[in-house]
Structure 1
Amino acid sequence: MKNLHDVWRKRFLHYVNELQKYLKYVFTGHLAIVVVFVLGAGGYQYSEWLKTVPSDFPGTWLVATVIGVLLSFSMPTTLIREPDQVYLLPLETKLMTYMKKALSWTFWSQLFIVIVPFIVAIPLLSQVSKIQPKTLGLVFIIMLLLKWWNVQVEFAFRWANRGQGVWGDRIVRAFISIAVLASAFTMNPLYLLLLIIPIVFYFISWSRQLKGQPFPYEHFVKMEQNRMLRFYRFANYFTDVPHIQGSIHRRPWLNGLYRLVPSHQKNAQDYLVFRTFVRTDDTFYLWLRLTLLSAIGAAFIDIPIVVMIFVGALAFASAIQIKQALSASSEFRMDMLFPIAENARNNGILKLVRVVQVLQALIVLVTLVIVGVEQASLYALPIVVLIVSEITLRMSK
């Protein structure tokens, strides 16, 4: 490669191809239908809430706080790899040429995280807080400048401190961002001018500390590995990703549940499947997340048909993915040496999925009772969970 521009270009193309390879399995037609229904229900609920929100609602402070906190999360995407600790050492004096490309991509790729909440908040700011369009335009420009500042400062802070104390830095930047946005909403030029001082001082102070500091390859390599691992784990919910291996945790606080399986030879596979589900992070947290989403949807979506589709889709996802995850293991296991019926494991998996889906239905029911839902039709949601789960188990291979 001729220079660091070529290094970035080749790595960026590989990174984009890697994302596209798995995202095509994530954003399928089924997911699109669910997203459309959720966005439609959320938009309807939001518009209805705006009709009843009191005039003294602190909309500007709420929006400034949410966007300010989101701005503070500006983790740089450097695409640094482990061999760079050796091969890029001779070019370390020119490393900023590479990093400028990386920080530019970080800025543009993370803009949607703050632009989407800002667009969603425009009706609230216009109707309740009476913010004028020219003020919204000014706030939007300031928000972009703050995003650039947050990206630059977090990168400099991580370099200067080798990744230590990042949360303290984020808290400082979050408070500064919130104060700047709140001042912009109120069109207070004095406060804005005063806040420029800590912004410039904070940026210059950390930028100066980079001089003479060796680049912390270990920190940025680990950060890139963790970031890609999070993406692969997310994609693994929709398709098989060979890059990851499921992590295992004992979870001793759930040991008492194993007693629910009678201690008999015929229940050996039931016990092993149950233990595998509880201790495997991927399957256990997948079911937990989908169950919590079902409960949240049941609590906050008031349109019966929409919430039924939403909860039914999550019940389908829970049943099919847990069944496939537990059935996917094809390697040799010690239980294959024992005289157990060949279909015992499959029956144990079906039994486990039915049990956890009944638990999911009960959690949805308890949520409806706690929230005090008045529409009687919504109390059919637990039945929807059970029916969809059973149909999924019977129709899937």
Structure 2
Amino acid sequence: MSNQAIHLFKQRRIKIAKEKRYYNKFIFNGHFTVFLVLLLGAFILGYGQWLKSIPKGINYSLITSVIFALTSMFPMRTLLQNADRLFLLPFEKNMKDYIKCSLIYSYFQRVMRQIALLIIFFPLFFQINHHHYAFYILFTILALVLPFTGLILKWQWYKYDLEHWSIHLILFIIFTAGYYITLDTSQLTGLASIGIVLAISFFVGLANRQHLFPWERMIDIETQHRTNYYKFVNMFTDVKDLSEAAVRRRYLDPVLRVPKASHFNENYMYLFLFKRSFVRGKDAFNIILRLILIAGILMTWLHQPIVSLIIGCLFTYVILLQMSQFYTQQAYGLWPQVWPVDDSKVIKGYQQFLYRLLLIIALVFIVIYALVNPLYMYAGLLFILVGWLTILNIIKKLKYQESLLKD
């Protein structure tokens, strides 16, 4: 039976990997890959310049410890499905081996991000510690071992049916303390955090030996992870059976004022629908906000007029390009069936929505660019030009696609 449990998990792991490979074709397309390469180049350039004159008086050990404490709390992936709460009940006694596979899978799903962060932070501590790195080897061991011990404790915590937030609080405190002691004092006592987590796991495990498998909780956690992944993928391509929750942002209510009586017609209908989908949407709005924030940080950090200009143009292009999902959601959704209108009206409303979004993005980038590079502030108008050309290209492709659908 244990072999069947391992075989079941392997089957689901292969299925998930196949699904991710399929969606990665749409995510890491030519445009997005170029964007990531340029973003990486800009970060390396800015980071290298910053390392030449590292600001003093900042507790880098504490900041790094907090960052690693947050990234070390790996999510637990069980790959369980809704039907399992019924069909796998007779299999419950053999779920122990299944969970072992789950813990290993969860670890290796996130460990590469941990390694990337270790590589990024190494030059900083190599510089501020006068080219000594022996302590950083100890820190690396800690950063690679603690996440797995955290997963072990998470499983015991969930099985004991304790609060979700409490395990994250406990892990955050222990991880931060262990990392900080290692970085700040360069002593082996930081390794005690591993023993503390394992000890808590042992005692919680003793307490929940008679507890049944937490089917409902583990399935809900896995469902939430998959939903979050699908929401991200939905920014690049359509994902079937994905329902997006609406969120009211009261501070944006003025954007969705009730239209005038003269605007209650097919000429203004889709402009309002696109605005409402964006403002009330839970995921797209947050993703675009993060992209604008990242662009602003990079433009402020680099202090190079040409590089900052390229970054602003690139982010403007990517943000407008990611809005393509809004067109498919509205043009092929319910409204065209309830109130049929000509395709040109839908495209026109989408174009008007993109122009308004461009105006907001460009203004934010122009203000940031003008503050960082006041002598070249007029060059910020290039953001508007790039956005305008991007919109023209998007609309041209949409019209061509609609013409093909009519044939």
Q: Give the TM interval when normalised to the shorter protein.
A: 0.7 to 0.9
Map Cα deviations across residues 295-318 of structure 1 (whole Å, 9 max, x no partner). 333333333333333322322233
Displacement of 1:94 in angstroms is: 1.7
**Which residue of structure 2 lines up, in the alignment, with residue 170 of structure 1?**
168
Aligned-partner SS, 2:160:
helix
Q: Give 3-state SS (helix, strand or coil) of 2:143's partner.
A: helix
**What TM-score, normalized to structure 1?**
0.87
Matches within 5 A, 1:307-326: 307-326=308-327
Q: Measure the CA separation in 2 of the matches of 1:196 and 1:345.
A: 58
Give the Å deviation of 1:169.
1.7
Q: Amino acid of the residue matched to residue 96 of structure 2? A: M
Q: Which one-letter code corresponds to 1:377 in the other structure?
A: Y
Supply the distance in 2 between the matched residues of 1:210 and 1:320 (Cα, whole angstroms).
50
Which of residues 176, 179, 187 in structure 1 aligns to 2:177?
179
Tell whether the 8 Å contact from 2:39 to 2:311 is kept in structure 1 after alignment: yes
Give the % identical residues. Answer: 22
How far 1:28 moved relative to its partner? 2.0
Compare 178-187 and 192-201 and name the one that shifted more: 192-201
Structure 1 residues 199 and 313, CA gap change in structure 2 (3 angstroms): same
**Change in 2 beyond 3 A, CA 1:98/1:156:** same
Alignment match, 1:292: 293
Task: Give the match's secondary structure for 1:243.
Answer: coil
Q: Which moved more, 1:237-246 or 1:116-125?
A: 237-246
Tell me, yes or no, if the aligned pair for 2:178 and 2:190 is still in contact at 8 Å: yes
Deviation at 1:32, TM superposition (A): 2.1
2:357 is matched with 356
Give deviations 1:248-306, integer Å, cap 9, x for gaps. 34445433223485431455424344334433445444443433333333333333333
Task: Say whether the 8 Å CA contact 2:135–2:186 is kept in structure 1.
Answer: yes
Mean Cα deviation higher: 57-66 or 210-219: 57-66
Question: Residues 24-74 of structure 1, C-alpha deviation per residue, up to 9 Å, x if partnerless?
Answer: 211122222222222222122212222212565433333223212321x22
Matching residue of 2:93: 93
Amino acid of the residue matched to residue 28 of structure 1? N
One-letter amino acid of the counterpart of residue 346, structure 1: I
- Matching residue of 2:7: 6
Match of 2:84 in 1: 84
Is the 1:50–1:124 Cα contact (8 Å) retained in structure 2?
Answer: yes
Within 5 Å, which residues of 2 pair with 1:29-40? 29-40=30-41
Structure 2 equivalent of residue 330 of structure 1: 332
> After superposition, where does 1:1-397 map in structure 2 within 5 Å?
3-54=4-55, 57-71=58-72, 73-130=73-130, 132-161=132-161, 164-185=162-183, 186-189=185-188, 191-192=189-190, 195=193, 198-259=196-257, 262-265=260-263, 267-269=267-269, 270-328=271-329, 329-333=331-335, 337=339, 343-368=344-369, 372-374=371-373, 376-377=375-376, 379-381=378-380, 383-396=381-394, 397=398
C-alpha RMSD of matched pairs (Å): 2.7
Q: Is the 8 A contact 2:320 2:390 kept in 1?
A: yes
Instruction: State the SS of the aligned residue for 2:261.
Output: coil
Q: 1:123 to 1:250 in 2, by over 3 A?
A: closer
CA distance in 2, matches of 1:56, 1:290: 30
Q: Please report how far the alpha carbon of residue 380 of structure 1 lies from its aligned counterpart in structure 2 after TM superposition.
A: 2.5
Q: Do the aligned partners of 1:277 and 1:326 also contact (CA within 8 Å) in 2?
A: no
- Residue 343 of structure 1 aligns to a residue whose secondary structure is helix
CA deviation after TM superposition for structure 1 residue 97, in Å? 0.7
**Structure 1 range deviating more: 387-396 or 93-102:** 387-396
Structure 1's 182 and 276: CA in aligned 2 closer, same or farther, altered over 3 A? Answer: closer
Q: Helix, strand or coil for the counterpart of 1:211?
A: coil
One-letter identity of the residue aligned with 1:104: I
* 1:387 Cα deviation from its structure 2 partner: 1.4
Q: Distance in 1 between matches of 2:239 and 2:282?
A: 15
Q: Residues 307 and 243 from structure 1, CA distance in 2 versus in 1: closer, same or farther, beyond 3 angstroms?
A: farther
Separation (CA, whole Å) in 2 of partners of 1:16 and 1:214:
30
Which structure 1 residue ranges, 5 or more long, are not aligned? none
When residues 6 and 195 of structure 1 are mapped into structure 2, their CA distance, relative to the original with a 3 A threshold, is closer
Unaligned runs of 5+ in 2: 399-407
CA contact (8 A) 1:59 1:129 kept: no
Aligned equivalents of 2:17, 2:84: Cα separation in 1: 20
Over residues 8-32 of structure 1, what are the superposed CA-to-partner deviations in whole Å (9 max), with x where a residue is unaligned? 1111110110111101211122222
Residue 88 (structure 1) shift:
1.8
Q: Which moved more, 1:281-290 or 1:230-239?
A: 281-290
Amino acid at match of 1:116: A
Letter in 2 for 1:179: A
3-state SS of 1:69 partner: helix
Matched length: 389
AA of the residue aligned to 1:147: P
CA distance in 2, matches of 1:126, 1:291: 32
